[in-house]
Amino acid sequence: MKQILLLQALVVFTINALSAQIKIAGIVKDNKNHPLPGASIAIANSYDGATTDSSGAFSFRTTEKGEHIITASSIGYNTFEQKIDIDKEPIKLSISLKEKLDELKAVMVTAGSFAAGDSKRAAVLSSLDVATTAGSNADITAALKTLPGTQQVGEQEGLFVRGGAGYETKQFIDGTLVNNPYFSSVPDIASRGRFSPFLFKGTVFTTGGYSALYGQALSSALLLESIDLPEKSEIDASISPLLAGLGTQQLAKNKKSSWGINYSYVNVSVYFKLVKQTPDYFKIPQFHNGDANFRFKTKRGGMVKYYTTFSYGKLGLRRPDIDSLHLKDAFGLTNYNWYNNLSWRENLGNGWKMNLGTSYSTNKDNISQQIQDQSNQPKEFVNGSYWMQNKNFGLQHRQDLSQLRAVFEKKLVGISSVRFGSEYWYSYDKSFIHDSLYKLIDNYTSVFAETEIYLTNDLAAKAGVRFENSSLIHKADIAPRLSLAYKTGKDAQMSVAYGIFYQKPENNQLYYSTSLGMTKAAHYIINYQKMTHERIFRVEVYYKKYENLIKTIPAINYTFGFDNNGAGYAKGIDVFWRDKKSLKNFDYWLSYSYIDTKRDYLNYPKQLQPNFVANHTASVVMKRFFTKIKSGFNFTYSYASGRPYYNLIINSNNKYFIADEGKTKSYNSLNFSAEWVPSIGKINAKTFIVLFASMTNVLGQNQVYGYNYSYNGMYKEPIMPPAKRFYFIGCFLSWGVDRSQDAINNNL
Amino acid sequence: MKNREFEFAKNVKSGAMALVILLMLTASSFAQSDKFTQAMQKNIQLLDSAKTSEDLAAVSSAFERIGDAEKNQWLPYYYASLALTTVGWMDQKVDKDKNAEQIKALCNKAEAIEKNAEICSIKNMAATQQMLVNPQERWQTFGKEASTALEQGLQLDSNNPRLYYLQGMSLFNTPEQFGGGKTKAKPVFEKAVALFKAEHAKPLYPQWGLKQAEDALAKCQ
């Protein structure tokens, strides 16, 4: 009996195998009702299924019977599942797949910001781009000046963004503010930034409308994100007629931690002998720079990074005095700067992230200014002519900044998120000038929150608010920020941004009065962007409204009063195009900006176009690498239309008026640089060599940034660079072991 | 047929019942694995004869379905990803990044079952295809990823001919001044061909590459 049952089972099994297959057919569409080709249909836990054709249709036969789960999936869409009963033909299915919210695919809130660096998908410039932009000489600020919205200001350091002064752009490293991002400068000569582009893996340059996570910058925030761990251990050296440097970077064997130390010495005496400078340098500029870092990965995949840099520099130069044919102004500067940054980034689990940061910096400038006669002897002015007396002074200036910052982020549904946090800055500023002591202490606190909401892959909103309080001026403010982005097509999107931005008055104003309020700017931005891997096109129009700008109240004998009665506006358009595709190995970008801006601030008697603003600016940057000769050649052409200049003096009614005004000639500069990389691509090369040479203002065009006026206003003198051209030549070496090739070759 | 089985069954002693049950069980599991073998063979044939990207994508999905149903076989995922690397090599219009992401996702599924040199060869190809979009700019990221995959593969199986073939191709296509070229590639291809000739691939296991390696070696002469 048992045997018969068993045999019956066997028979049933055979019949099943031979039984008729059932046809399943249908169509797959996306949520916009467009057919979805290439979607995969499957019966779960069976081999049966199909792929949709170009019309989204599919059809297959199956031997499965009964209740099953059918799935439909396609990249970028949520997988569809449905229970079906495979019983009898025909089975017709109509499936709709919902698009997955995806950070890589989703629209990005980009109005007002240029993301740069290697880690960002919206990279506009990488750190290598910064180094190979002709004219930049590896200075981040100089390279950013080839982007639209910036001015070609050469007589002061800083980024002058969309009608804003240099001090209205702030730099942040890993979230914390950098108090002295540039080397201390000499009047009428811009100085370089302190930080090398190779310290950073990502840079976001916001030309306006930036996030609520940052504040105290009326125009723009430059957000720098330092690299985590280096790729390998190496020793680096640099040699040039201008500088020599040595350093090392050591990566632990388990690739979980690293440390590094670098030192460089800059001395331009040889260079100044070869290339004549207009000023007479009685103390040749010399700088000692040292930095060190320590970084490690935490157990949970977080990152702790410490970076410190110390620099000491001195210089002295003499220029003819503007009020006298026989006298000279001698300016001397000694600077000490120490910067420290410690940050900790951690994943707390459950969609929580934490970013902690602390930084401490101290900067000391000892400045001396002296009137000298033809034989370089000091000249005293005892009576009268106080404008000459005031040119003899010594200034000791110390600036300290300590900061604490904490930001928490929580992932919400999909890819939406909320961020919030707080900052505390303790700043100490002490000046000793003309036998007077000025001291300022400020406790600045802020609390901020921001949420980024993705309604679909095509529509995102970012809303934030920032509360700020400064103890020094006893003022608190609330700054709202809002931006929206909408995907208009493949790789294309529109964004709008709005925000209120506050900034404390400058310390040299607060010395005289602390009963001032925050200066204020409102930004309105509309942006269109089309971006593929190799091409970027973006155009942005903006309107900015300034309120409560600081005005100077004329008083007697060089003491000033200040109030918040200034105002102004800026409006304009920025256009950017980058193309790496059209010509092989050739990369170029074009920037153009138009701006219309006026401000009534400082000693301006009415709303005037600021003297650092040119209405039209344009840059063309070109880079070409020739693999055959392992060399790259780079050209940058920058243009700016003429800038206004004014001689503003106090009239008999004790009011400022325009005694003279004019417009400079337009600014033109063609810059060139080349690099030769003989060891590129050499497997197992123990030494990596880069030879680099550059030249600014190749065509030797006269560059006039503005005019200085004599006290009586009878004489004006153009402000020009200390030399027509700047040349650089250097050799950079690194010895490192990249073991990835060894393993392969050992097996041969 | 029914009668014959009945006749046969009648002659079986009841004491042998246990044996019969055992045999039946083995047969059913054979039938099961036979279904796998047949499906794999059929799709490997389809893969070999596929001409268009659509064909290849369909074969890839078919392999993926087999992998999803089997749950403990890495070969279906391997072939699913191999089909997509072929798309990456021959279709110049396809989005290489998207395609490579899909390949790597399949490799991850395969590696969750078993880590081996064959999967590393696929990962090497996916990264290489991404690198080739813009070699100058992507050399440091995807070029490194490709060589890491190769290195890992050789650690797992230092005699895998396909890895040597791929390494040879990478050298062959790298300009001489960047440390590549025919003379550098030649010994690698020679080693690959020798290993291919010595290879005894298990049924269903990957065995492609000998002809490609021989052709490439001929170009180095």
Find where tokens 């990152």 sit: A303
Q: A52 is written with which tokens?
A: 């949709």
Q: What is the structure's pLDDT at B17?
A: 55
User: What's the Rg (C-alpha) of chain A?
Assistant: 32
**Predicted confidence band at A1 (pLDDT cuts at 50, 70, 90)?**
very low
DSSP per-residue codes, A442-465: EEEEEEEEEEEEEEETTEEEEEEE
Instruction: Write out residues 585-614 of A within 8 Å (CB-CB) of B.
Output: 585
- Measured between alpha carbons, how far is A526 from A107 in angstroms, rounded to an integer? 15
- Count contacts between A and B (CB, < 8 Å): 96
Residue A21 lies in a domain: yes
The amino acid occupying position A738 is D
Whether the per-residue pLDDT at A683 is higher than 60: the answer is no
Reduced to 3 states, what is the DSSP secondary structure of residue B47? helix
Q: What pLDDT does residue B10 have?
A: 47
User: What mean pLDDT do residues A149-162 have?
Assistant: 94
- Asked if residue A738 has pLDDT above 60, the reply is no
Given a cut of 90, is residue B43 above it in pLDDT? Answer: yes
Q: What is the CATH number of the domain that holds A451?
A: 2.40.170.20
Report the pLDDT value the prediction gives residue A741, as an integer from 0 to 100.
Answer: 42
DSSP 8-state secondary structure symbol assigned to residue A99: B
- For residues A135 and A150, what is the distance between their CA atoms, to the nearest angstrom? 15
Please identify which residue in the block is written with the tokens 């650089």: A728
Q: Which of A97, A124, A159 is the last residue of a domain?
A: A97
Give the pLDDT of residue A746: 40
pLDDT of residue B9: 45
Q: Is the pLDDT of residue A118 over 50?
A: no
Overall average pLDDT of the A458-474 stretch: 93
Q: Strands, E, within A471-560: which ranges?
A: 475-489, 492-503, 519-531, 535-553
Q: Which of A374-383, A666-675, A715-724, B13-22 has the lowest mean pLDDT?
A: B13-22
CA A499 – CA A479 distance, rounded (Å): 7
Share of chain A above pLDDT 90, in %: 64
The nearest alpha carbon in chain B to A53 belongs to B54
Answer yes or no: do A301 and A420 share one domain.
yes
CATH code at position A56: 2.60.40.1120
Select from A64, A97, A130 the last residue of a domain.
A97
Q: What rounded mean pLDDT belongs to chain A? A: 89
Structural domain includes residue A415? yes
Share of chain B above pLDDT 70, in %: 84
Going by pLDDT thresholds of 50, 70 and 90, the confidence category of residue A414 is confident
Indicate whether A119 pLDDT > 50: no
d(CA A226, CA A372): 46
- Domain shared by A310 and A417, yes or no: yes
Select from A238, A303, A244 the least CA-distant residue to A270: A244
Asked if residue A42 belongs to a domain, the reply is yes
* pLDDT tens figures, A72-114: 988 888 889 999 888 877 788 999 998 877 666 666 666 666 6
Q: How many residues are given for chain A?
A: 748
A352 shares its domain with A225? yes
Structure tokens at B59: 């074969």
Decide if pLDDT at A688 tops 90: no
User: What pLDDT score was predicted for residue A743?
Assistant: 37
Residue of A nearest to B98 (CA): A75
Query: Which SS3 state, helix, strand or coil, does residue A75 take?
Result: coil
Whether residue A93 is found in the same domain as residue A117? no
Q: Is residue A685 pLDDT above 80, yes or no?
A: no
Q: Name residue A475's amino acid.
A: K
- Residue A119 and residue A32 share a domain: no
What is the pLDDT averaged over residues B125-151? 87
pLDDT the model gives residue B176: 78
In B, residues 166-185, which contact A (CB 8 Å cutoff)? 167, 174-175, 177-180
Q: Is the predicted pLDDT of residue A63 greater than 80, yes or no? A: yes
pLDDT at residue A64 greater than cutoff 90: no
Query: What is the residue type of A445?
Result: T
Q: How far is CA A677 from the centre of its chain?
A: 27
Q: Which residues of A641-665 are buried (b: 16+ CB within 10 A; e: fewer)?
A: bebbbbbbbeeeeeebeeeeeeebe
Task: Please give the structure tokens belonging to residue A540.
Answer: 């942005």
Torsion of CA B206, B207, B208, B213, to 10 degrees: 130
Residues A160 and A31 grouped into a single domain: no
B64 reaches A (C-beta below 8 A)? yes
Check residue B25 and give its pLDDT.
Answer: 54
My answer on whether A506 and A627 are in the same domain is: yes
Q: Are residues A134 and A72 in the same domain?
A: no
Q: Does A737 score more than 70 pLDDT?
A: no
φ/ψ of A7, rounded to 5, equals -65, -35
Angle A82-A88-A93 (CA atoms, 0-180°, nearest 5)? 35
How many independent structural domains does chain A possess?
2
Q: What is the pLDDT of residue A744?
A: 36
Q: Which two tokens stand for residue A605?
A: 């008697």
The pLDDT score that the predictor gives to residue A121 is 44
Residue A37 and residue A168 in one domain: no
Q: Which pLDDT tens digit goes with each residue over A206-232? A: 888 899 999 999 999 998 989 899 888
CA–CA separation, B33 and A202 (whole Å): 52
Q: How far apart are the first and last CA of chain B?
A: 63
- Confirm or reject contact between A10 and chain B (CB < 8 A): yes
Residue B8's pLDDT is 46
Minimal C-alpha gap between A76 and chain B (Å): 10
Report how far residue A12's alpha carbon sits from residue A36's, in angstroms, rounded to the nearest whole number: 40
- pLDDT recorded at residue A653: 84
Q: Average pLDDT, whole number, for chain B?
A: 85
Kindly state whether residues A356 and A475 are assigned to the same domain. Answer: yes
Question: Please, which pLDDT band fits residue B2 given cuts at 50, 70 and 90?
Answer: very low
Q: Do B6 and A7 touch (CB under 8 A)?
A: yes
Please, how many CA atoms are within 13 Å of residue A696, restricted to the half-sphere of its CB?
21
CA distance B51 to chain A (A): 15
Where residue A479 falls among pLDDT bands split at 50, 70, 90? Answer: very high
Is-contact A160 A609, C-beta < 8 A? no
Chain B: closest CA distance from residue A320 (Å): 50
Q: How far is A52 from chain B (nearest CA, A)?
A: 8
How many residues are there in chain B? 221
CA A660 to each of CA A122, A163, A426, A709: distance values in angstroms, whole numbers, following the listed order? 46, 22, 42, 9
Band (A682; pLDDT cuts 50, 70, 90): low
Assign B19 a pLDDT band (cuts: 50, 70, 90). Answer: low
Q: Which residue from A91, A95, A94 is spatially nearest to A61, judged by alpha carbons?
A: A91
Q: So what's the pLDDT on residue A201? A: 83
Instruction: Sheet with A169-173: list strands edge to edge.
Output: A113-117, A200-206, A220-226, A169-173, A176-177
Per-residue pLDDT at A32: 82
pLDDT at A396 (0 to 100): 95
8-state DSSP, B176? G
In a domain, A107, yes or no: no
| Arithmetic mean of pLDDT, B187-206 | 91
d(CA B8, CA A244): 96
- Residue A465, domain member (yes or no): yes
Any chain B CB within 8 A of the CB of A49? Answer: yes
Q: How far is the first Cα of chain A from the last one, in angstroms, to the nearest whole number?
A: 68
| Within a domain: A105 | no
Instruction: Give the per-residue pLDDT at A370.
Output: 94
Domain limits for position A488: 113-746
Q: How far apart are CA A219 and CA A205, in angstroms?
A: 11
Q: How many CA atoms lie within 13 A of A498 on its CB side?
A: 5
Contact at CB, A681 and B5, closer than 8 angstroms = no
> Residue B9 and residue A748: Cβ atoms within 8 Å?
no
Whether the ipTM is more than 0.90: the answer is no
Report which of A415, A487, A419, A577 is spatially closest to residue A108, judged by C-alpha positions.
A487
The pLDDT assigned to B24 comes to 56
Q: Are residues A90 and A124 in the same domain?
A: no
| DSSP codes, A261-306 | EEEEEEE-HHHHHHS--SSEEEEEEEEEEEEEEEEEE-TTS-EEEE
Give the Å distances, CA to CA, from B94 to B35, B62, B86, B183.
Answer: 33, 20, 11, 32
Which of A97, A122, A151 finishes a domain?
A: A97
Q: pLDDT at position B87, please?
A: 94
pLDDT digits (tens, 9 = 90+) for A6-15: 544 444 444 4
* Contact (Cβ atoms closer than 8 angstroms) between residue A473 and residue A441: no
Overall average pLDDT of the A42-65 stretch:
89
Chain B residues whose beta carbon lies within 8 Å of the beta carbon of residue A627 = 175, 177-178
pLDDT at A691 > cutoff 50: yes
Tell me which of A448 and A625 has the higher pLDDT: A448
A102 in any annotated domain: no
Question: What is the rounded distance in angstroms from the CA atom of residue B159 to the CA atom of residue B199?
Answer: 9
| Closest-approach residue (CA) in chain A for B1 | A11
The phi and psi torsions of B45 (rounded to 5 degrees) equal -60, -45
Say if residue B179 is exposed, middle or buried (CB neighbours under 10 Å; 0-12, 13-18, 19+). Answer: middle
The reply to whether A698 falls in a domain is yes
A81 CB near a chain B CB, below 8 Å? Answer: no
CA nearest neighbour of A317 among A198, A185, A406 = A185
pLDDT, greater one: B84 or B32: B84
Q: ∠ CA B99-B101-B103 to the nearest 5 degrees?
A: 70
- Identify all chain B residues contacting A681, using CB atoms and an 8 Å cutoff: 174-175, 177-180
Same domain, A32 and A78: yes
Q: Please tell me the predicted confidence (pLDDT) of residue A637.
A: 97
* Antiparallel, parallel or unpaired: β A352-372 and A200-206: unpaired
Q: What is the pTM of this model?
A: 0.80
The band of A157, judged by pLDDT with boundaries at 50, 70 and 90, is very high
Give the range among A206-210, A518-522, B20-24, B209-213 with minimum mean pLDDT: B20-24
**B27 pLDDT exceeds 60?**
no
Distance CA B198, CA B34 (A): 28
Taking only the tens place, the pLDDT of each residue in A542-554 is 999 999 999 998 8
The alpha-carbon gap from B142 to the nearest alpha carbon of chain A, in Å, equals: 13
The amino acid present at A172, given as its one-letter code, is F
- Contact across the interface for B179 and A533, Cβ inside 8 Å: no
Q: What is the mean pLDDT of residues B80-98?
A: 91
The answer to whether B73 faces chain A, any CB pair under 8 Å, is no
Cβ distance A248 to A260 under 8 Å? yes
Q: How far is CA A542 from CA A166, A340, A539, A571, A668, in A?
A: 19, 36, 10, 5, 26
CA–CA gap between residue A522 and residue A571 (Å, rounded): 12
DSSP per-residue string spanning A388-433? HHTTSEEEEEEEEEEEEEEEEEEE-STT-EEEEEEEEEEEEEEEEE
- Residue B161, preceding peptide bond in cis (omega within 30° of 0): no
User: For residue A163, which of A599, A662, A591, A538 has the smallest C-alpha distance?
Assistant: A599
Of A729, A711, A583, the residue nearest A648 (C-alpha): A711
Tell me the mean pLDDT in the region A432-460.
91
